[in-house]
Every structure is written in structure tokens, then in C-alpha cells.
Amino acid sequence: MHTLDDLRMRFRQVGGGLTVVSALMTGVFGWSMGSNVLMAAVLAGGLMCATFASAYVWPFVAAAYRDRTWSTFAFLCAFGVLCTGTDLSTNFGSIAWQRTADVDTALKQDAIHDARADAVTEDKDALASAKETLRQLKLANPWAETVTAEALRAPLPPIEAALKREANNCGRRKCATPDEGKGPAWQILANQKAEIEGKIATAEERNSIAIRIADLEKRLGERREVAVTAKKGESATRDMNLNLASMFTLSLQPTEAAQHWTNKGVAWLVAGFFAFGAMGCNFVGFGVPGSRKTSPHGRPEAFTEPAPTQTRSMATAVIDDFFQNVNKHVRAIPGVREFAV
């Protein structure tokens, strides 16, 4: 035969597990508020105590109500509300903090991904611009592909020497003005020099653009390899906020405000689950009176008299369970009498 007491024991176990989880979340949040190690430990420990008090005080409230001890009932209610409010708010703070950190991590990863993608785009644009400039230069100066700046400089020394001689001749002739000595021969040499220098500048520009194109192609290849390894940030929290906000607002692109309040609502929901879940399981496990025995199929057994109903208060139940466990171990010791319960 089965009784609800068997299931009540499971509720106690689940309630204990939820209480520990809730206490850990509260402790982490309390630790984060400390300005130093000592204060962090004090806040974490104190808030964890509030979590345990919140999880286990309500069976005592129910027992005080059944016993009609109204002053105790009022005090325990106030104490329970204080502890539960503290537990709920700190759980919310811890969960909201973790959810925000999860979204921030994804946003930072998004920023890295976007920055690397932008770098690749910038290099692609710069490479296309450099190639177009080189194409235009080749169209305007087809000869630039066949000569180098060094080869073009070869005729310059004789021309510069001839120009210098013309200037010296002007000095011997005592020209009235510098332009007086610039005859047709000088002008031809000057034009030749300017033409050669122009071609040298064009050849150097063409060479500079070709070098820049090679550098851009190399850098673009490296940045593409790096960009491939950078993925968009993944955040279950952000995806949940987006999907829930989209569902609640019936919009494919919910606003940031809708996602913000959705995030807060989910944080409150999860915080409430751990706070009230631990409280509810412990209340069922310790504070709810027992019931009749049931068959394996869940049907009440046929009794000639109604099964007695458990009316023990939570404190009595805890004391009885304690002595039963003590007797269980004591009976295993030869010659030792049992404790009387």
C-alpha cells in the first residue's frame, strides 16, 4: 500500500534541493555586493540564511494557525514575508545579473565579428580603388608598363650637365637677366628634362600603386582568414527575449523596450520559481496534514472506519522523525534500550 506520506518525503527532498539552489544564487549575489572579502562573506552568508528561513518558515506559520496561537502566527507571517521578500529580490538580482552578462558577452562577440567583417570590406574597397587607379594610369600612359623609373633617370645627368654649361656661359657673357641666357638650346634641354621627370613621376606612381595592391591583397587574405574564425555572439537569453517579445507584441521586430521588459519578466519568473518552489515543496513536505492510505492504483482502501488524519504540527513531526532515526540506529547496538518517543 502507498500513502501520500511517501510522496511527501519526495517533496521534502525536492524542496531541500531547490532551497540549496536558491541559497547559492542568493549567496553569489550577496558576495558580489561586498566591498571587501569580509563584507562579501558576511552578506553572502546572511542572505543564504534568509533563503533557508524563507523556505522553511511557512510550515511553522501553518502550525501556528492550526494551534490558534495568533501572536506567534502574526510574528511568523511578518518574519516569513521579510525573508521571502529578501530571497525573491536577491534571486532576481542574481538571475538578472547573469542574464545581462550573457547578453553582454554576445554583444562583445558581435562587435568583434562586425569589426573584422568591416576590416575585410574596407580592404576590398581600397583594393578595388587602387586597381581602378592603376587601370586609368595605364590607359593614359601605356608606355609605363615597359619602362622603369631607374631606366628613365639614365639620360638626366647629361641633360643637367648641359643646362649647367648654358648657365655658366650666361655668367661669362654677363647677362643682364637670368632669362637672357635661356636661348633655344637651353629651352630644348629644359623641356627634355621636364618630360623625363614627368615620366619618372608616372613610373614611380605606377610602381607605388602596384606595391599597394600587392600589400592589400596580402592583408585582405589574412583578414579573411581571421574573419572566418569570428562568429556572431550566441546568447540563449537574447534569443529568448526576442522570441517572447515578438510573441507578446505580435511583431516580427519587437522594440528594445519590449525586449527589455520581457527580460525583466523572465528574470522575475525564474526568481519566483526558485523562491516559491522551495517554499511550496517544503510546505507540502512538512506542513500539509497526512491523508488516507491508497492502493497501488491510487484508489482509497476499503476501511471499516475512516483512516486517521495526521494533525501533527511541523515541530512535532520533526521531533518524531528525529527520535525515529535515533531508535533505528540504537536498535542495532546490542544491549542498548531504545529511546522513548
The upper half-sphere exposure of residue 311, i.e. CA atoms within 13 Å in the direction of its Cβ, equals 6
Whether 159 is in a domain gets the answer: yes
Residue 266 forms part of a structural domain: no
**pTM listed for this prediction:** 0.54
Q: Do 323 and 338 touch, CB atoms closer than 8 A? A: no
266 dihedral zone (left: phi>0; alpha: psi -120 to 50; beta)? alpha
Instruction: Provide the domain limits for residue 157.
Output: 123-229
Crossing angle of helices 70-140/4-33, nearest 10°? 60
pLDDT at 236 over 70: yes
Residue found by looking up cell 600612359 in the block: 141
Examine residue 225 and state whether it is found in any structural domain, yes or no. yes
CB 26 within 8 Å of CB 47:
yes
User: What confidence score (pLDDT) does residue 311 get?
Assistant: 47
Distance between CA atoms of residues 174 and 185, nearest Å: 18
Q: Tell me how far apart the alpha carbons of residues 83 and 56 are, in angstroms, rounded to a whole number.
A: 10
Nearest to 217 by CA among 118, 120, 117, 115: 120
The string of DSSP letters for 178-231 reads: GGGG--HHHHHHHHHHHHHHHHHHHHHHHHHHHHHHHHHHHHHHHHHHHHHH--
Count of structural domains within the chain: 1
Lowest mean pLDDT among 120-129, 207-216, 222-231: 222-231
Question: Tell me: the pLDDT tens digits for 276-330?
Answer: 888 888 888 887 665 544 444 444 444 444 444 444 545 445 545 655 665 665 5
The Cα 11–Cα 247 span in angstroms is 34
pLDDT digits 0-9 by tens, 43-101:
899 999 999 999 999 888 888 888 888 898 999 999 999 999 998 998 888 888 888 88
Query: Would the pLDDT of 154 be above 70?
Result: yes
49/51 Cα distance (integer angstroms): 5
pLDDT category at 172 given cuts 50, 70, 90 is: low
CB half-sphere exposure, 323, CA atoms < 13 A: 9
When pLDDT is cut at 50, 70 and 90, the band that residue 333 belongs to is low
193 and 69 Cβ atoms separated by less than 8 Å: no
Please report which residue ranges of the chain form alpha helices under DSSP H: 4-33, 37-56, 58-66, 70-140, 149-153, 156-172, 184-229, 236-249, 256-282, 314-330
168 within domain boundaries:
yes
- Residue 294: phi and psi, rounded to 5, are -125, 160
End-to-end CA distance of the chain: 25
Neighbours of 171 (CB within 10 A): 9
Cell of 108: 562583445
Judge whether 319 lies within some domain. Answer: no
**Rg (Cα) of the chain, in Å, rounded?**
44
- Judge residue 251's burial from the number of C-beta atoms within 10 Å of its C-beta, 0-12 exposed, 13-18 middle, 19 or more buried: exposed
Pairwise CA distance, residues 215 & 205, whole Å:
15
The pLDDT, as a whole number, for residue 307 is 45
All three cell numbers of 310, joined, read: 495526521
